Chain A
């Protein structure tokens, strides 16, 4: 086994754009669930909408600013479509509607009738030109050790992590303010907050939109190093984002970031070790395809252990969760 390579790949995941995208999506989900108590099981839909609403205008020749605005506006509209009928109802209804609508949008973009726009099951590619064009980094390879990337890869990483930092600062500013106090109150008991003269429905909608826009921007970062593939946006993606958020701590600032880093480092490590063991014959009964699935079984087990033994996550406050809610 090439341990150097295995660890090198794993360390590289810490700053990979995919990690940044997952972190950003988890920050958005943290606003929904961690702070406001909204059970959003369709965060994958926001990533999908961000991805397609960015890629389609770009492929049609729109400048990057238009493509980004299109992604943001589409996710705001989607948040309203989800929220208007469900936010007046109990929290469980939002969970059902989000999980279903995430599947609906995934099937919509996969339909062959829309091949001209969405590429159906093949997805979209060739939309990186406008983003690469505004890259100020000169051509070449930079970095050290495991962090050797070309100018485009660095550009994606810098933009991605800058957005993660901006989103974290935004969440920090919001949650220390009276606005944050209201949404945390809604998480605890929305009738109590209503009886104190706050428009609960409006706050829930604001929270849904903010977290949704973060998800859709995460969707843009997610596709910049790869192609748009509808198969990436299954409910599995939503549950990985949930895992990351719970791993770090649902109502914390650094939780989603560190959660995303640990998640991807561990996935990369287990993949490297399993593949290495298979190649060297130590795990002869398994193929590499099966090993890819085993990784996710391990993720599932890890999530269960986490929820059982450390429900507050890495950064969460143990005291907050010691009360039954």
Chain B
């Protein structure tokens, strides 16, 4: 949807609409075609309410960014939605199926596959074995059928072909037989994403896919995420780096202190006072320095200079 980039003119008086949204754009607004709908999800750690989301919908077939300052509850929300953590209250459905209280492996089987902030590559398995583990519905994974190779040989070959295609796409084919532990941090991120794709997910949830990845690989990761959307996969990702979010997301959801404080297309949501407040007012998170539009901001200037230096540097390469 290229028209997402042209945002409706924002005037404080008029209710803002958007092609993805049913009704007006506001925190917790209903989407035209949601893939995930969550209601009243709360998660309490002692006295701290880490997540307290009244209503949240994630649009289908789009790249949605979940942003927010440190401690906003983004990863906790991720863990809750994917069954890795249990909420105190709340229900949510994925593709019309309720997933509340469903264990993590069943969530993954239903087509909602996640990656982790700290990459979880399986170090002492080869890259190819990592990939094959991602395939679903394998007959050879049953205890008794695993003993009889003819039962699963054909399926294993098909999965290997698919794994090789994905490895080639993520430029990991040269590493096929290496132990995953020998990959660099960025390559592990790629492997984790490729592995998640082995199951042909409807929705892929990436927890900080760009964290700790060098700029060159970041570009390639961004490209892969855009390709996912082109292939019809919905993407939800958590990210700190605002440049990334601006470049690739169709929709941005902002969390702060466990709540959804704003959402909207990337250009407008960055100007939302609630977002600026969440980032700068309460936490002084310098990452969002370029959100300040009025006048040169020292942080912004510094960041911009750094980014230019970075770009120049990577172009030289």
B-contacting residues of A (Cβ < 8 Å)?
Answer: 170, 173-174, 176-182, 184-185, 187-189, 191-200, 206, 319-320, 323, 325
Q: How far is the CA of A179 from the CA of B139 in the complex (A)?
A: 9
- Return the contact of B115 from the options A181, A195, A198, A320 (Cβ within 8 A): A195
Please indicate the chain A residues that have their CB under 8 angstroms from the CB of B84 in the complex: 191, 194-195
Chain B residues near A194 (CB, 8 Å)?
A: 84, 104-105, 108
- Among B108, B124, B139, B146, contact of A195 (Cβ-Cβ < 8 Å): B108
Is B179 an interface position by the 8 A CB rule? yes
A317 to chain B: closest residue by CB: B124
State the 8 A-B residue pairs at the shortest beta-carbon distance, nearest first: A178-B140, A179-B146, A177-B146, A192-B120, A197-B108, A323-B181, A188-B122, A197-B109
Chain A residue numbers with a CB within 8 Å of B121 are 189, 192
Assembly CA distance A192 to B138 (angstroms):
17
A184 neighbours in B (Cβ, 8 Å): 122, 124-125, 129
Report B's interface with A, CB cutoff 8 A: 82, 84, 103-106, 108-109, 113-116, 120-125, 129-130, 132-134, 136, 138-143, 146-147, 149, 152, 156, 179, 181-182, 192, 195-196, 198-199
Q: A-side binding surface: helix, strand, loop or mixed?
A: helix
Residues of B within 8 A of A188 (CB): 122-125
Residues in B whose Cβ lies below 8 Å from that of A193: 122, 133
When distances are taken between beta carbons in the complex, the residues of chain A under 8 Å from B125 are 181, 184-185, 188
Q: B142 and A179: CB pair below 8 A? A: yes
CA distance A235 to B24 in the complex (A): 68
Chain A to chain B contacts (Cβ below 8 Å), 21 pairs: A170-B147, A174-B147, A177-B140, A177-B146, A178-B132, A178-B139, A178-B140, A179-B143, A181-B132, A192-B120, A192-B121, A192-B122, A195-B120, A195-B196, A196-B113, A197-B106, A197-B109, A198-B105, A320-B124, A323-B123, A323-B182
Chain A residue at minimal CB-CB distance from B143: A206
A196 touches which of B123, B133, B149 (Cβ 8 Å): B133
Rounded to whole angstroms, the CA-CA distance of A115 and B240 in the bound complex is 68
A196 contacts B134, C-beta separation under 8 Å: yes
**14 other contacts beyond A178-B138, A194-B84, A195-B84, with CB at 8 A cut-off?**
A173-B149, A176-B149, A178-B146, A178-B156, A179-B142, A180-B146, A182-B133, A184-B129, A187-B124, A191-B104, A192-B120, A195-B120, A199-B105, A323-B179
Which single residue of chain B is at the shortest CB-CB distance from A192?
Answer: B120
Closest residue of A by beta carbon distance from B144: A179
Inter-chain CA distance A176–B152, complex, in Å, is 12
Residue of A nearest to B198 (CB): A196
CB of B208 to closest CB in A, whole Å:
15
Q: How far is the CB of B159 from the nearest CB of chain A, in Å?
A: 9
Cβ–Cβ contact A195 & B113, under 8 A: yes
Chain B residues near A192: list those with CB within 8 A. Answer: 116, 120-122, 192
A173 in contact with B146 given A194-B105, A196-B199, A197-B136 (CB within 8 Å) = yes
**B109 vs chain A, min Cβ distance (A):** 4
- A82, B209: Cα distance in complex, Å: 38
Contact with B124, one of A178, A182, A200, A325 (Cβ below 8 angstroms): A325
A80 shortest CB reach to chain B, Å: 15
User: Which of A170, A196, A325 is B108 in contact with, Cβ under 8 Å?
Assistant: A196
Q: Are B146 and A185 in contact (CB under 8 A)?
A: no
In the assembled complex, the CB of A35 is this many whole angstroms from the nearest CB of chain B, namely 11
Separation in Å of the B258 CB from the closest CB of chain A?
23
